[in-house]
Amino acid sequence: MVAKVSNPLTVIAIFAGVAEGFAAVALIQLPTEIQRTFVWFVMAFPILLVGAFFLTLITNSKVLYAPSDFTSDESYLAAHGFIEAGEKLKRELVEAKTKSPEQVRAYLDKVIASIDQTIQSALLSEREGEILQLLSNGPKTAAEIAEVIGTSRMTAAVHLSRMQEKGAVMPLRQGTTKVWTPVLRD
Q: Are 132 and 121 in contact (CB under 8 A)?
A: yes
The confidence score (pLDDT) of residue 177 equals 87
In one letter, which amino acid is 46?
P
* pLDDT tens digits for range 6-27: 667 778 788 888 988 998 898 8
135-173: b (≥16 Cβ within 10 Å) or e: beeebbbbebbbeeeebeeeebbebbeebeeeebbeeee
Residue 33 has pLDDT above 80, yes or no: yes
69 Cβ contact partners less than 8 Å away, ≥ 6 residues apart = 6
6-41: b (≥16 Cβ within 10 Å) or e: eebeeebbeeeeeeeeebeeeeeeeeeeeeeeeeee
Task: Write down the CATH number for the domain with range 125-182.
Answer: 1.10.10.10
The confidence score (pLDDT) of residue 149 equals 84
Residue 35 has pLDDT above 60, yes or no: yes
The confidence score (pLDDT) of residue 122 equals 62
Beta strands in the chain (DSSP E): 169-174, 177-182
DSSP state of 144: H
* pLDDT tens digits for range 154-174: 888 888 888 888 788 889 888
Q: Which of 70, 73, 67, 99 is nearest to 86 (CA)?
A: 73
Residue 53 has pLDDT above 60, yes or no: yes
The confidence score (pLDDT) of residue 124 equals 59
Domain boundaries, the chain: 8-69, 125-182
